[in-house]
Structure 1
Amino acid sequence: MKAQYVSYKAKSMINRLRHVDDWFWGRYTLNPYRGCSHGCVYCDARANQYGLSESFDQKVLVKENAVAVLERQLPRLKRDVVSMGGVCDSYQPIEKDRRLTKEVVETLHRHRFPVQVLTKSDLVLRDLELYREVNRGAWACVFFTITTFDPYVAGQFEPGASSPEERLVAMTEVAKAGVTTGVAMMPLLPGISDDDANIADIVKRVKDAGGQFVLGGGLTLKEGTQRERYMTFLGMHYPQALSLHQRLYGDGFETRGSYGPELLRRVRDICAEHGIPDRMTRPILPEDPLAANKQIAEKLFLRAYDLTLEEASSYRTWAYRKAAWAVDEMEENIESIYRQEDRKGLLRIKGIGKTLAREIEGWLQPGL
């Protein structure tokens, strides 16, 4: 069914996250369109938490007043990374004619905000020179979702998107332009695209094409339309994988047991074999007075991720995550605190005990 596009006046354009996204490093999220005509079968934007209609891939709202609303909002916000495309693809087909995403990025650039775009479309190349300008003034990242290069599987699960081959070509051009790029290998589907051969094929091709990272992740199955649609689709087209999904997920939205951490360990190992990181390096603006806080927080977030992969106790994992949030959201420079008060100053930070204080001290002493 062809998507219907409807003009819509947004009250707000930019959403400030409660905590920084420690996968993509966005502080803010933004979607020029409400809905997405790519029609990906696995998309969890159909989940109730996003407030989108069940038919959001058939009726897409175009936020016609996006620039005017942004011009009102941006001067009140602290500059940090704006992530686009996490829910509704900013370069879905309507963008070719409407050019709303381009107008939005131009507005963010005028206000010197770093911009990050995740997409399944090679249409983003139309705006490559704009992203180069954003990158010169702040920071830009354009990266792509690729979960398989099998044209049959991709065509079934991502019917409205550019082909994976087209996305890889686009990523190659982004890399040549000097803009940060890579691949979100998400979601890897149990029994369909989560095998080592598929993962290695993607990782190798991304590395050879100039990608700087490959992020791996599994599928979430959220109660309601998303889960029902996806499981019905499996029953019709991949019945051999249906029982595996039922066993792994039960009634939950995440896999049970060791499947999730084991999948991410395999992604990490394969990335290491090919010499490409399985995490995205956090961007730091040169003039950021709290750069040290962000760098220390990044190390704490990475340690929490390591513990997740090691299947450590949730208490240990959350201790690092909460400490990362505390450091990241401080208004005082952690280097200044340490210079003035040594370890005692670190112990004053919420969530930092003796063990974490010693670890942070080790990072601060040799210089960041």
Structure 2
Amino acid sequence: MVVRKIKVKSVLNKHKYQDSWFLEQYTMNPYLGCSFNCLYCYVNGSKYGEHVPSGLSVKINAPDVLYRQLKNRARKREYGIIALGSATDPYLQAEKDLKITREILKIIYRFHFPVNLLTKSTLILRDVDLLKKIDETAKLPSNLASKLQRGVILGFSFSTMNEEIAKIFEPAAPSPQERLNTMAKLKEEGFLVGACLMPVLPFLSDSEEHLSQMVKIVKEHGGDYVLIGGMTLFGNQPNDSKVRYFTALKNHFPELLEKTEALFRNKDYAPMDYQKKLHEITLKVCDKHGMRNSII
């Protein structure tokens, strides 16, 4: 894939409030677009993708811009967790050569900010040295200092752990087993690690049986927590997530197409009764396996 190099004026986005799930107060994405090509990606067709050019772009001046922004935040002591990977995986194939994420981690370490890094990639193992330094020296906001007591949270994203289903909906991403093995290695290195089962796939990976098995596997691979969330689907253009996802169902699981379409009829998200049931299952399976359904 051709990677377009772009320059930006800002890379750090500040939330008004700390996120209740991922605990971050800042987000940043070194890349625009994503070469993992997950069909359900919420960016495609949503407001978050309105200004994202087609293909893959790297914010080539991101480290310099971040240096200025974090220097200012640190001077004001506005410490908060930075989420890397909220919209685009920070460890895409291009990162192996470009090393933009690694340079960004150096800046984060320089100014002692904590980080929550979400990925599907094995390439994160390259940066264990930097992540350990951040973990040991980051300054946490006062409301997290006594609860978290570390500067790095490492999350791995899954929609399913069935290898064949993953190949359909996450065609260019590392396999679920590769992610699990990477998570286990990072746990052995002493990190706080977990799995974000987001989005679970309606009628494919959202049943109590399937979720119980996934939580069990996460625990067996050293996971400290799981976060479980439902799917959102957006847009009506050929490259939008709703169209791409329904096309994949038609081709591979035609028996599920009608009831999945009904679930998202006239909406971008499943109805409240579905979400309530998913939450109830989450509590049940996490209790069964002794797993936290939150980071802290």
For the criterion TM > 0.5, the same-fold answer is yes
Structure 1 contact 143–184 (Cα < 8 Å) conserved: yes
- 2:248 partner amino acid: F
- Please report how far the alpha carbon of residue 218 of structure 1 lies from its aligned counterpart in structure 2 after TM superposition: 0.6
Structure number with the higher helix fraction is 1
Q: Please give the secondary structure, in 2, of the residue aligned with 1:82.
A: strand
Between the aligned partners of 1:272 and 1:110, the Cα distance in structure 2 is 39
Between the aligned partners of 2:190 and 2:278, the Cα distance in structure 1 is 31
Percent identity between the aligned chains? 35
Structure 2 contact 31–57 (Cα < 8 Å) conserved: yes
- 2:246 partner amino acid: M
- 1:80 partner amino acid: G
Q: Please give the secondary structure, in 2, of the residue aligned with 1:45.
A: coil
Q: Which residue of 1 aligns with 2:24?
A: 26
- Please report how far the alpha carbon of residue 178 of structure 1 lies from its aligned counterpart in structure 2 after TM superposition: 1.6
Between the aligned partners of 1:217 and 1:46, the Cα distance in structure 2 is 18
Between the aligned partners of 2:209 and 2:121, the Cα distance in structure 1 is 24
Structure 2 contact 33–52 (Cα < 8 Å) conserved: no
Between the aligned partners of 1:54 and 1:179, the Cα distance in structure 2 is 33
Q: Please give the secondary structure, in 2, of the residue aligned with 1:154.
A: helix
Q: Point out where structure 2 has 5 or more consecutive residues left out of the alignment.
A: 139-150
Between the aligned partners of 2:88 and 2:196, the Cα distance in structure 1 is 15
1:76 to 58, 72, 78: 72
1:189 to 201, 205, 209: 201
- 2:119 partner amino acid: T
Q: Which residue of 2 aligns with 1:162?
A: 174
Between the aligned partners of 1:128 and 1:268, the Cα distance in structure 2 is 32
TM-score, normalisation: structure 2: 0.90
Between the aligned partners of 2:130 and 2:86, the Cα distance in structure 1 is 20
Structure 1 contact 74–111 (Cα < 8 Å) conserved: yes
Q: Which residue of 1 aligns with 2:244?
A: 229
Count of equivalent residues? 277
Q: Which residue of 2 aligns with 1:273?
A: 288
Runs of 4+ displaced beyond 6 Å: none
Q: Which residue of 2 aligns with 1:96?
A: 96
Between the aligned partners of 2:52 and 2:82, the Cα distance in structure 1 is 26
Q: Please give the secondary structure, in 2, of the residue aligned with 1:27.
A: strand
Q: Which residue of 1 aligns with 2:263?
A: 248
Deviations 1:80-109 (A, max 9, x none): 100011110000100111111010011111
Q: Could you say what the CA RMSD is over the residues aligned between the two structures, in angstroms?
A: 1.4
- 2:261 partner amino acid: Q
Q: Point out where structure 1 has 5 or more consecutive residues left out of the alignment.
A: 282-368
Q: Which has the higher contact order (CA 8 A, sep 6+)?
A: 2
- Please report how far the alpha carbon of residue 194 of structure 1 lies from its aligned counterpart in structure 2 after TM superposition: 1.0
Deviations 1:3-51 (A, max 9, x none): 2201100111110112221110110000011111000011011134113
1:62 to 51, 58, 65: 58
Aligned: 1:117 with 2:117: yes
Between the aligned partners of 1:95 and 1:106, the Cα distance in structure 2 is 15
Structure 2 contact 225–293 (Cα < 8 Å) conserved: yes
- Please report how far the alpha carbon of residue 154 of structure 1 lies from its aligned counterpart in structure 2 after TM superposition: 0.6
Bigger CA radius of gyration: 1
